[in-house]
Amino acid sequence: MVNVTGTMEVAVQHHKAGRLQQAEKLYNLVLQSVPDHPVVLHSLGTIAYQKGQHNIAVELISKAIASNRQVPQFYNSIGVVFVALGKLEKAVGAYKQAISLKPDYTEAYNNLALALSIQGRFTEAIANLKQAIQLSPESVEPYYNLANLLQQQDKYPEAIENYKQAIQLKPDFAEAYSNLGNALKDHGQCAEAVKSYRQAIRLKPDCAEIYYNMGNALKNQAQHEEAIESYNQAIRLDPEYAEAYCNLGVAQRELGQYDKAIKNYEHAIQLKPKFVEAHWNRSLILLLRGQFAEGWKEYEWRRNTDLRVTAYPNRDKIPRWDGSSFAGKRLFVHYEQGLGDNIQFLRYLPMVKSRGGSVIYEAKKPLLGLLGDFEGIDELKEATFDGKPAVKFDYHIPLLSLPRIFGTTLKTIPADVPYLTANPAKVKHWRQRLVQTDFKVGLVWAGKPSHGNDYNRSCALDHFAPLAGIDGVKLYGLQKGQAAEQAEKLGQRIPVINFGNEFKDFTDTAGMIENLDLVISVDTSVAHLAGAMAKAVWVVLPFVPEWRWMLEREDSPWYPTMRLFRQEKPGDWDGVFQCIAKQLQILMKKQLVVS
């Protein structure tokens, strides 16, 4: 005769210690004497779950419930198994039954919230986690899970608060430190994020993911050498960490280490052949180096929705144009990326038109007025953000795929300018606002803050100070947005009259540019517009520029009237503007000789 109580005690000890085989043997021994013992059936079901035998676990725990329907733990346990099987509705029902039997069952509230969150029922999930916290304010898991859920919804301040609470309750909680770092990084607090990652590493030094995330935070702070060290450590811990190779390449690119970057992008692609971001980053360096044939091909990876680079990567089931004749058909060319990108590649539309029927071009509203009579456009449509233009067409193509369609090389770039012109009425309007006797220079010092590379390409108006004292030069601002406020604050030091915030669209910008003798701009759409209008334009570039400006050139093959001024080292705007001031002084001396 089996001593049920004694055998159960020993079985539970084995179970708690993780000795599942010994525990299972003893539980079965008890079951021979008491076939419907609910606790034993539940325990055996738990062991089956731990061994990955989920269907067996459901069968055993269901028998336990049939034997005693008043035990809340049984319903909680079968809920966990249902989640593992992907049967979320059954899991939710089981957890709710557990709570109905035990209204203060913190673990069941926590588990119910996790099941609801998998279903996308975030409001209900959050409510249940807050209930769990109210019931057990000293329990770590609800704070941690609530923080994870809030972070998924981009509610970073609340997520940060709950991660910190979890850490306060469990100071050695490495995962909480790591996820706190992620929330801080995504909230723009990268320096604090790095501190949190370092704590996580101290507690869990063999976790490659933490080093990878810390590398991302360091990269976001332009601490590229430190980021490289973190990515390398992640790779040492996990040699098949494709994302670490890719972001290692990004950090190396920011230091001008292009060969190393390409090598790491290619390594990432070897590990994950369809790694979109690695292909995309590789394309940017190929194009930067002028390796257009391969670069355009790789550049097509931007159309993948994971990158969110193009506006609408696909147009339902309508065929994509392959460059062949489309006589008698309608081709829809849609905008993508920034306004400057669209201005640069509009030049291809007459070439498109020469291959067929009607060309419909979709543009963002600020460009519409500029394109009313553009050669190569038969119909002009304003961009719709739902991706469904109210127009019928036979084929479609993204604008920036046209260089690949036409096999563009450095020698075949269609660089005839001007291909954009200003409205005469707007030219006259802005001429009346300017002093005609001076050499008129337009300035742009900042791009759109939401641009992913804006921290690198934009600078402060203060850097333009060396231009302020040059005799005969009158400075005019073409700057829009919040950065335009710098013109008022620096008015005494840099006497610039800023008209940018008066511009309604690009017809105003073009009208002003037509009246200027020179435009000096950071890498923005205004620089592209001036180049497309064949106006003299000097573009100020960071140490690592956008691919279109290439490397080690003072000219641009895309814009014959453009001159490029580059940083010699990262962040060195002062050196660039000293060079620009010197060249402007030389230009002014030539102007005096001519006059």
For range 443-463, the mean pLDDT: 84
The dihedral region occupied by 188, where left means phi > 0, alpha psi between -120 and 50, and beta the remainder, is left
Same domain for 367 and 450, yes or no, is no
Residue 35 domain flag: no
More confident call, 198 vs 303: 198
Q: Among 549, 550, 551, 552, which residue's Cα sits nearest to residue 538?
A: 549
Which of 257, 278, 309 delimits the end of a domain?
309
Provide, for the chain, the percentages of residues in helix, strand and coil under a 3-state DSSP scheme, each rounded to the nearest 5.
60, 10, 30
Same domain for 272 and 359, yes or no, is no
Same domain for 281 and 357, yes or no, is no
Is 60 exceeded by the pLDDT of residue 449? yes
Three-state DSSP state, 38: helix
* pLDDT tens digits along 464-485: 999 998 999 999 999 999 999 9
Q: Is the peptide bond before 35 cis (omega within 30 degrees of 0)?
A: no
Same domain for 251 and 368, yes or no, is no
Same domain for 305 and 330, yes or no, is no
Q: Among 322, 330, 421, which residue's Cα sits nearest to residue 379?
A: 330
Exposed (0-12), middle (13-18) or buried (19+): which is 32, by Cβ within 10 Å?
A: exposed
Is 90 exceeded by the pLDDT of residue 557? yes
Same domain for 431 and 367, yes or no, is no
Using CA atoms, how far apart are residues 492 and 513, in angstroms rounded to an integer? 24
* pLDDT tens digits along 395-406: 999 999 999 999
For range 385-401, the mean pLDDT: 85
Which of 412, 446, 478 delimits the end of a domain?
412
Is 80 exceeded by the pLDDT of residue 309? no
Is 50 exceeded by the pLDDT of residue 313? no
Domain that includes residue 385, residue range: 326-412
Is 60 exceeded by the pLDDT of residue 76? yes
For range 581-590, the mean pLDDT: 93
Three-state DSSP state, 395: strand
Residue 88 domain flag: no
Kindly report the CA angle at 142 between 138 and 144, in degrees rounded to 5?
A: 100
Using CA atoms, how far apart are residues 211 and 10, in angstroms rounded to an integer? 43
Which of 309, 339, 363 delimits the end of a domain?
309
Using CA atoms, how far apart are residues 182 and 373, in angstroms rounded to an integer? 49
The whole-number pLDDT of residue 387 equals 62
Token duo for residue 169: 């309750």
Q: Residue 396 belongs to a domain with what CATH number?
A: 3.40.50
Residue 483 domain flag: yes
Residue 159 domain flag: no
Same domain for 457 and 557, yes or no, is yes
* pLDDT tens digits along 132-152: 999 999 999 999 999 999 999
Sign of torsion, CA 263 268 273 275?
Answer: negative
The whole-number pLDDT of residue 547 equals 96
The dihedral region occupied by 86, where left means phi > 0, alpha psi between -120 and 50, and beta the remainder, is left
- Greatest alpha-carbon pair distance for the chain in Å reads 119
Count structural domains, the chain.
Answer: 3
More confident call, 312 vs 346: 346
In this prediction the pTM is: 0.86
For range 64-79, the mean pLDDT: 94
| Residue 316's pLDDT band (cuts 50, 70, 90) | low
Phi, psi of 331, deg, nearest 5: -110, 130
Using CA atoms, how far apart are residues 538 and 582, in angstroms rounded to an integer? 13
The whole-number pLDDT of residue 252 equals 97
Query: What Cα–Cα distance (Å) separates residue 282 from each residue in 8, 296, 347, 409, 572?
Result: 62, 11, 25, 18, 26
Question: Taking a C-beta distance cutoff of 8 angstroms, is the pair 478, 396 a contact?
Answer: no
Using CA atoms, how far apart are residues 308 and 280, in angstroms rounded to an integer? 12
Question: Taking a C-beta distance cutoff of 8 angstroms, is the pair 516, 442 a contact?
Answer: yes
Same domain for 430 and 576, yes or no, is yes
Residue 584 domain flag: yes
Exposed (0-12), middle (13-18) or buried (19+): which is 281, by Cβ within 10 Å?
A: buried
Phi, psi of 38, deg, nearest 5: -65, -40
Same domain for 265 and 230, yes or no, is yes
Using CA atoms, how far apart are residues 131 and 81, in angstroms rounded to an integer? 23
Same domain for 258 and 376, yes or no, is no
Exposure b/e, 375-388, CB count within 10 A at least 16 = b: ebbeebbebeeeee
Same domain for 348 and 393, yes or no, is yes
Residue 389 domain flag: yes
The stretches of 331-420 forming alpha helices (DSSP H) are 339-345, 349-353, 365-368, 402-405
Distance of CA 463 to the CA centre of its chain: 29
Token duo for residue 333: 């060319």
Same domain for 588 and 557, yes or no, is yes
User: Dihedral, CA atoms, 528, 532, 536, 538, nearest 10 degrees?
Assistant: 20
Across 523-590, the runs of DSSP E, i.e. the strands, are 537-541, 555-556, 559-566
Residue 238 domain flag: yes
Three-state DSSP state, 302: helix
Q: Among 313, 351, 331, which residue's Cα sits nearest to residue 396?
A: 331
* pLDDT tens digits along 496-511: 999 999 999 999 999 9
Residue 314 domain flag: no
The whole-number pLDDT of residue 267 equals 98
